[in-house]
Structure 1
Amino acid sequence: MAEKILIGKVTHYYPKIGVAVVELHETLKKGDKIEIEGKTTKLSQIVTSMQLNHVDIETASAGQTVGVKVVDRVREGDSVYKVVE
């Protein structure tokens, strides 16, 4: 069974470009499966695009704030989980 690990929270969402700004508490890599959950949010996806200071990156560390391309709307304060199989 898959385990969900809380890795950060959404601090902003850009609807026109479909990007969530995520403040990380743990490491996140391109290709990781994530779930974003909130009062009205329930989203599951693979991280396909991630940026730090407008530069594409493969890995982000705890303490960094990154932009993550998301497949649907998310909201400020939503929790971000990494799904570990």
Structure 2
Amino acid sequence: MGVRNLDKQIGKVTHYYDKLGVAIIDLDSGGLKVGDKLKFKRGEEEEFNQNVESLQVDHQQVDSVKKGDSFGLKVSQPTKPGTLVYSV
């Protein structure tokens, strides 16, 4: 299951806290809000979908983020810096 043409790359993982299961993501385009669906992809082997259940900016809970924001997201699977994030 590759990246579909409808999927739009919106950001990239810059850090992953394995003990917390939290990815730090730089949002390069668009916006994102609680309830949106994301796809994480790094090469061909790593791919999973994730619903946005909560977002944090500077350790504060927020409902949405915009282009240029760096935010924390609890993820369902481990990921690595450099993983691309798509809106689906």
Q: TM-score, normalization: structure 2? A: 0.89
Residues matched between the structures, number: 83
The equivalent of 1:13 in structure 2 is 16
Query: What is the one-letter code of the residue matched to 1:3?
Result: L
Deviation at 1:2, TM superposition (A): 8.1
Q: Share of identical aligned residues, percent?
A: 37
How far residue 41 of structure 1 moved from its aligned partner, in angstroms, is 1.9
Give TM-score scaled by structure 1 length.
0.92
Report the equivalent of 1:81.
Answer: 86
Q: Which residue of 2 aligns with 1:23?
A: 26
Shift of 1:55: 0.4
Contact in 2 for aligned 1:13/1:20 (Cα 8 Å): yes
The answer for the alignment partner of 1:3 in structure 2 is 6
* Counterpart Cα distance in 1 of 2:5 and 2:75: 21
Structure 1 unaligned residues grouped into runs of 5+: none
For 1:16-61, what per-residue CA distance to the aligned partner results, in whole angstroms no more than 9, with x for missing partners? 1110000001211110000000034211010001100000111000
Structure 2: where are the runs of 5+ without partners? none
Q: Do structure 1's residue 37 and structure 2's residue 41 form an aligned pair?
A: yes
